[in-house]
Amino acid sequence: MAYIRRAPAAGAASFAAYPAANPLLANVENSFYSQLLLTTAFSRLHVTLQPSRARPYPMTLSLLDWLAIFGYLAITILLGFYFRKRSSRSVDDYFVSGRNVNWWLAGTSMVATTFAADTPLVVTGLVYTQGISGNWLWWGSLLSGMMTVFLFARLWRRSGLLTDVQFAEIRYSGKPAAFLRGFRAVYLGLLMNCIILGWVTKAMTSIVATTLGGTPLLLAVGRWIAPLGGVWAAPDGAALAICVFFLIPFTGLYVSLGGLWGVLWTDLFQFVLKMSIVIAIAFYAVRAVGGISALIARLALMQSPMHPPAAGNPLSFFPNLSVGLTTEMLWTIPVATFLVNIGLQWWAFWYPGAEPGGGGYIAQRIFSARDERQGLLSVLWFNVAHYAIRPWPWILTALAVIVLYPGLAHPEVGYMLVMNNYLPHSMRGLAIAGFLAAFMSTVATQLNWGASYLVSDFYRRFLRPQATNRHYVMVSRLATVLLVIASAWVSVHLDSIASGWQVVMEVGAGTGAVYLLRWYWWRINAWSEISAMACSLAVTVTLNAFHPFHGNSPVVFAKTALTTTVITTLIWLAVTLLTPAEPFTTLEAFYRLVRPDIRGWQPIAAQLDAAASALEPIVPTRDLGRNLTAWLLGCAMVYLCLFGTGKLLLHQSAMGFTLLTLSAISAVALYRNFVASFNKEPDTTAKSSAAVQPGASA
């Protein structure tokens, strides 16, 4: 959920909501009706709504707090210097750590990357308005994540690529393949990457303004930067300056020095720090309410007595299915939105960080793994930690915010209120260091990943294909600096491009099926991907121009998503069948390299058998059924663990232990029927890496 954010309202105070990388977050709004329901609910607790009291007050920091912050910064920069020599050996060492990373390190790095500075705040906003069920906005993506684990992780690792964009020139051929690779390198590595970094920075600006507001540091920066006028003279100008002129360049420094090795180990350190802080905040938040039992009792009192109920149960894990598909109520997610999340979005939509079939920094971590087994286990650990382990400290804090701070105009601010008002003074420096870690872990990954696209898939492929490794490492560091400057510029000019963010995300609707099938169906060609991207763009622009759908936001989004997906899918399928297949030599090389399930590659396999090639014979792979079974078991394992842990925390012990037992049974079945079989399969990753020279054309 690193990129789930909401756009700040014009003229809002320092702590506003953030833009949605996912269009569904547009549904999370505090309407007048929701405020009325909140008033009714809170009046049952004899609480008078006083939003002015619910403002985040700046922290008072002691010398020990500042030492904790500077100590964190010192450790991160030392890690960058420590891995400088190792990352300088080659481009492979700089971008994929020499393909020698253990699963637990690669997987933890993925988890740390998706834990952005504002992720706890966004979860607070979801739970405050839609209850626990609001988290289906991102819980549904587990279906895609587990599919990456069991159907695509080993294929990615076998490919031996340096970036997922390079895939275009081992799967396709000719100018269309080269266009795909070059276009996606610039579009994703520069444009999309800088927008993501800009939104992350905007979120961190609000956090810095909230936590350091009124401190001598921020006041001094404000006096220095205000004469420049414009955004620098705004209330958040000093906080923006700290992010743009210090935090981003500081992160870029240790990333450019340490490469992916530095990113991985700082991610591990940052993840431990971040989780320790959010667990502590959850503990003190629940204690402020009076404990879990008191929290449950007070939430029960706050549910509206209206009949039919005008509010759902904030402790429910699922939407209220007794109401209509499009009914919007307090403390429950609309059923239509829930159905889109679990039935359509996870496979049909492409957006950074949740690509169907894997991609981006997820693929980068798979490439860095030692072998197929390590690559698969890294993504499996990421999905377990991301969905089953990490959410509950955020959710418990959000539930406490409902009781402690009723009537918030911007619910996300409640998380900072809890931290400011209930976290012991001795932990405040560590808390700020934790937020810095959350911000910097996301920025570090985006910088290293984006630079890999610009260098490997654009500069090396099209501009300077025959230079030395030393040259490419130097250019990689320069590309990191370029991204630092570009992302800082986007952060400063963010308001002027904010309106286009949701459209950029909607452009990915309907393209996901291509990214899934290109591995398993030989008939997919470069024009399939190009037509899918072009059609999705055209449909999105048309729907946004004419607004043909009416109703509340869940209805409009559901209709828009279905329309875009259906039209885009029909178009790219027609284009695929009406255009020639890729040349046999290209398909043969890909089939030999990746060894996908033979059932989608029968014509190619048959020609290889008929040709009786002198090359090494290919043993047919028939693992699709087993992989799908593992996918189902993996999803069941994680969801059961997620819900079981929640039931235990909410004092429903019998149900909690039952769900956790079922999760353990799923885990045992998964290990016996899938993971253990790795010992019987040949490891060809070394051969694959040698077959594909990073950065070269096919």
Domain boundaries along the sequence of the chain: 23-519+526-580+623-628
Return the beta strands (E) in 154-193 as ranges.
none
List pLDDT tens digits, range 572-584.
999 999 999 999 9
- Output the DSSP codes for 442-453: HHHHHHHHHHHI
For the four alpha carbons of 99, 100, 106 and 109, in that order, the dihedral sign comes to: negative
Radius of gyration of the chain (CA): 25
The token pair that represents 428 in the structure block: 């405040």
**What band does 517 get if pLDDT is binned at 50, 70 and 90?**
very high
What is the average pLDDT across 57-63?
72
With a cut of 80, say whether residue 247 has pLDDT above it: yes
Portion of the chain with pLDDT greater than 70, in percent: 83
Q: Looking at residues 361-377, what average pLDDT do you find?
A: 92
The domain 23-519+526-580+623-628 having CATH identifier 3.40.50.720: the answer here is: no
Confidence tier at 690 by pLDDT (50, 70, 90): very low
The whole-angstrom separation of Cα 488 and Cα 198 is 7
The number of angstroms, rounded, from the C-alpha of 358 to the middle of its chain's C-alpha atoms is 11
* pLDDT (0 to 100) of residue 552: 67
Q: Which residues contact 466 (CB under 8 A, 6 or more apart)?
A: none
Residue 9, pLDDT score: 33
- Secondary structure (DSSP) of 567-630: HHHHHHHHHHHHSPPPPHHHHHHHHHHH--BGGG-HHHHHHHHHHT-SSPPPPPB--HHHHHHH
d(CA 257, CA 251): 10
Q: Are 673 and 630 in contact (CB under 8 A)?
A: yes
Confidence class of residue 697 from pLDDT cuts 50, 70 and 90? Answer: very low
Asked if the model's pLDDT at residue 111 lies above 80, the reply is: yes
What angle separates helix 63-82 from helix 248-289, to the nearest 10 degrees? Answer: 130
CA distance 352 to 350: 7
Name the H helices within 32-118: 32-43, 63-82, 84-87, 91-96, 103-113
Q: Between 211 and 460, where is the model more confident?
A: 460
C-alpha torsion sign, points 126, 130, 132, 137: negative
Share of the chain above pLDDT 90, in %: 49
Q: How far is residue 351 from each of residues 28, 56, 192, 244, measured CA to CA in Å? A: 19, 32, 10, 25
Average pLDDT over residues 193-209: 84
pLDDT of res. 685: 53
Mean pLDDT of all residues in 278-294: 95
**pLDDT(3) > 60:** no
pLDDT in tens, 541-577: 898 888 888 776 667 777 888 899 999 999 999 999 9
Going by pLDDT thresholds of 50, 70 and 90, the confidence category of residue 354 is confident
Locus of tokens 């020139």: 169
Residue range 479-484: average pLDDT? 91
Query: Could you tell me the pLDDT band of residue 348, with boundaries at 50, 70 and 90?
Result: confident
Q: Mean pLDDT, the chain, as a whole number?
A: 83
Query: And the tokens for 472?
Result: 């490419």
DSSP string covering 235-278: TTHHHHHHIIIIIHHHHHHHHHHHHHHHHHHHHHHHHHHHHHHH
Cβ proximity of 589 and 170 under 8 Å: yes
Smallest CA-to-CA distance from 505 within 133, 9, 1, 24 is with 24
* 3-state secondary structure at position 80: helix
Instruction: In whole angstroms, give the CA distance from residue 310 to residue 303.
Output: 9
Q: Quote the pLDDT of residue 309.
A: 59
Higher pLDDT, 163 or 234: 163
pLDDT category at 353 given cuts 50, 70, 90 is: low
Q: What is the pLDDT of residue 16?
A: 34
The residue among 410 and 629 whose pLDDT is bigger is: 629
What mean pLDDT is predicted for residues 459-463?
93
Residues 6+ apart with CB under 8 A from 288: 400, 404, 418, 421, 422
- State yes or no: pLDDT of 394 exceeds 80: yes
Residue with the bigger pLDDT between 9 and 628: it is 628
User: 107 burial class (0-12, 13-18, 19+ CB within 10 angstroms)?
Assistant: buried
pLDDT of res. 63: 86
Of residues 217 and 503, more confidence is placed in 217
On whether the CB atoms of residues 161 and 641 are closer than 8 A, the answer is: no
- Tell me what pLDDT residue 494 has: 64
* Residues 6 or more apart in contact with residue 633 via CB below 8 angstroms: 666, 669, 670, 673, 674
Question: Bigger pLDDT: 449 or 552?
Answer: 449
Neighbours of 313 (CB within 10 A): 17
Give me 180's structure tokens.
Answer: 């795909």
Structure confidence at residue 645 as a pLDDT band (50, 70, 90): very high
CB 270 within 8 A of CB 437: yes
Of 84, 148, 109, whose CA–CA distance to 2 is shortest?
109
Which amino acid is present at 452?
S
Q: What is the SS3 assignment for 622?
A: coil
Instruction: For residue 398, give both structure tokens.
Output: 């959000």
Place of tokens 């284009």: 575
Dump pLDDT digits (tens) for 306-341: 445 567 889 999 988 877 777 777 888 888 888 888
680 vs 112 pLDDT, higher one: 112
Q: Is pLDDT of 40 > 50?
A: no
Q: Is the peptide bond before 308 cis (omega within 30 degrees of 0)?
A: yes
**Of the ranges 57-66, 222-231, 634-643, which one carries the lowest mean pLDDT score?**
57-66
- The confidence score (pLDDT) of residue 51 equals 41
Distance CA 454, CA 181 (A): 11
Q: How far is 114 from 687, CA to CA, in rounded Å?
A: 32
Q: By the 8 A CB rule, do 334 and 325 touch?
A: yes
* Long-range Cβ pairs for the range 227-234 (8 Å, 24+): 231/492
Q: Which residues contact 60 (CB under 8 A, 6 or more apart)?
A: 425, 428
Tell me, what's the pLDDT at 236?
A: 84
The mean pLDDT value for 611-629 works out to 78
